[in-house]
Amino acid sequence: SAQIADLQQKLLDADNGDRPRQRWDNIATILEAKCGLKYLLGELVSSKVQESKLQSSLEQSQTSCSEMQKMLIEERNNTAELEAELQNQILVQEQQHQEKV
């Protein structure tokens, strides 16, 4: 645990300059390399899990967006139909009014 913490600190300290070269230079033993690889693999798995969750969320959002677009188109069509119907009723009312006058 202490070695992992020390290795993590070394990796954080190596953030400036020639990072890959410094990181490998700071690893002096096979045990440190093993710990480093375990840490890196853990980070890789964690990032892959997070990527998968984000991808799933994106797909759900895209599906939801498509459904909302379909609903919007349907509502626009319904509105256009109602508008045409109302215009027709107005014309009929105007004609009836003209006939009365």
Q: What is the 3-state secondary structure (H, E, C) of 28-89?
A: CCHHHHHHHHHHHHHHHHHHHHHHHHHHHHHHHHHHHHHHHHHHHHHHHHHHHHHHHHHHHH
- The pLDDT value given to residue 22: 65
- The pLDDT value given to residue 23: 66
Ranges in the chain, pLDDT < 70: 14-24
- The pLDDT value given to residue 8: 79
- The pLDDT value given to residue 50: 97
- The pLDDT value given to residue 88: 97
Each domain of the chain, given as residue ranges in start order, spans: 2-99
- The pLDDT value given to residue 63: 97
